[in-house]
């Protein structure tokens, strides 16, 4: 039996966040990649029912969107806990660098350093496939504007690693927000905007235009993962925070300049436009403030909270953020959900403030 024939790879989670079991059919040795703390008991049940011996727990990077089960699983099973050599996690027992290998029976996982989403980002190459964490998604990639992210380093990783992989390589991402399981690298090279030919400067400019502030709860999640969380009931992510690690081009949606927004508000008469601010709560009340009367629903929570504004489907909805990028995404979500007249305020709250218009805090 060759290593490729011996390998069993299963995705264990429901939803967008992915955890992979990589096992040897012959020896029943296994590794868990990117486990979610809240699902620890279910992973242990899967291991027990499959008669797997957990040898490795691996995090492909320090996660900002969920709490890692790495430390707890290692303590409960005696497995080694592995991460990138630059990872800040305190309870890691094995540090990985470019070319490091982990054996799971006859199956070998090779670590490839792929910084960009984070400084400690790893891709794991196995027989016929790569487990990419948040470095590369199906049709996209992880954000490069979170702490430790760098769009230039992401470009460097892509241009260094992608040419070394076979066209037939199966891409298994750390997240997918559209229910897809995997993708062939040849298809990603053809369709993924992150793999288009661009200079480094062009790539950095493209991703920098989509940059957003990091929500406070993600900062706390990073800190917690470095400390090593062990309470499966703990959570820091707000409801609806499903796609916070994804990045992509800003959607093309109808725009409205701040002067026209001000004119419509001053003209009065029911029903006026619904102003929807999609920033984080700390931004809404910050020194920059918000447009008077704007309703706050943070972008990561918008899909889950659409019922709150369901009666406003026929109204004009004006989406607002700091500069116009997040609000463009919010406008696209609303239009997909059946809102008839949605406009994105050009330049966001920054442009509103620069025109000297009133601000509430």
Per residue in 113-155, pLDDT (tens digit) is 999 999 999 999 999 999 999 999 998 899 999 999 999 999 9
pLDDT band at 348; cut points 50, 70, 90? very high
Domain containing residue 271: CATH number: 3.40.250.10
Same domain, 12 and 121: yes
**Among candidate residues 191, 217, 243, the one where a domain is terminated:** 217
Q: Could you identify the residue written with the tokens 């006026």?
A: 272
Same domain, 202 and 62: yes
**Cα 111 from Cα 25, distance rounded (Å):** 21
| Model pLDDT, residue 280 | 83
- 151 is in which domain, residue-wise? 3-217
Contacts of 343 (CB under 8 A, 6+ apart): 253, 254, 255, 256, 273, 316, 317, 318, 319, 331
Same domain, 347 and 209: no
On whether residue 229 sits in a domain, the answer given is no
Is it the case that residue 3 has pLDDT exceeding 60?
no
Same domain, 194 and 270: no
Question: Phi-psi region for residue 6, left (φ > 0), alpha (ψ -120 to 50) or beta?
Answer: alpha
Is it the case that residue 247 has pLDDT exceeding 70?
no
pLDDT band at 1; cut points 50, 70, 90? very low
Between 284 and 4, the higher pLDDT residue: 284
On whether residue 107 sits in a domain, the answer given is yes
Domain containing residue 40: CATH number: 3.60.15.10
Whole-model pTM above 0.75? Answer: no
% residues pLDDT > 90 (the chain): 74
pLDDT band at 319; cut points 50, 70, 90? very high
Could you give the number of structural domains in the chain? 2
């Amino acid at each position: 039996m060759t290593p490729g024939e011996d390998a069993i790879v299963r995705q264990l989670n429901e939803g967008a966040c992915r955890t992979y079991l990589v096992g040897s059919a012959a020896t029943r040795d296994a590794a868990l990649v990117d486990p979610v703390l809240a699902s620890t008991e279910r992973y242990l049940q899967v291991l027990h029912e499959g008669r797997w011996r957990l040898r490795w727990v691996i995090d492909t990077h320090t996660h900002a969107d969920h709490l890692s089960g790495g430390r707890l699983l290692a303590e409960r099973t005696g497995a080694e806990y592995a991460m990138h050599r630059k990872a800040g996690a305190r309870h890691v027992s094995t540090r990985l660098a470019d070319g490091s290998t982990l054996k799971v029976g006859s199956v070998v996982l090779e670590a490839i350093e792929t910084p960009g989403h984070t400084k400690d980002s790893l891709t794991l190459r196995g027989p016929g496939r790569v487990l990419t964490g948040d470095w590369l998604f199906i049709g996209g990639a992880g954000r490069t504007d979170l702490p430790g992210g760098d769009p230039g380093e992401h470009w460097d990783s892509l241009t260094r690693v992608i040419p070394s992989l076979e066209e037939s390589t199966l891409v298994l991402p750390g997240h997918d927000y559209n229910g897809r399981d995997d993708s062939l690298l040849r298809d990603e090279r053809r369709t993924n905007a992150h793999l288009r030919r661009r200079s480094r400067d062009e790539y950095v400019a493209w991703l920098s235009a989509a940059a957003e502030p990091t929500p406070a709860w993600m900062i706390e999640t990073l800190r917690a993962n470095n400390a090593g969380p062990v309470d499966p009931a703990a959570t820091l992510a707000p409801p609806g925070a499903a796609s916070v690690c994804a990045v992509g081009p800003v959607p093309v949606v109808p725009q409205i300049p701040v002067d026209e927004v001000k004119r419509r508000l001053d003209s009065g008469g029911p029903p006026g436009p619904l102003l929807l601010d999609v920033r984080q709560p700390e931004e809404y009340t910050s020194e920059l403030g918000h447009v008077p009367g704007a309703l706050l629903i943070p972008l990561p929570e918008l899909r889950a909270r659409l019922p709150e504004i369901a009666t406003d489907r026929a109204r004009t909805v004006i989406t607002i953020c700091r500069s116009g990028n997040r609000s463009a995404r919010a406008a696209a979500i609303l239009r997909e959900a059946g809102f008839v007249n949605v406009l994105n305020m050009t330049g966001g709250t920054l442009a509103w403030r620069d025109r000297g218009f009133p601000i509430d805090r």
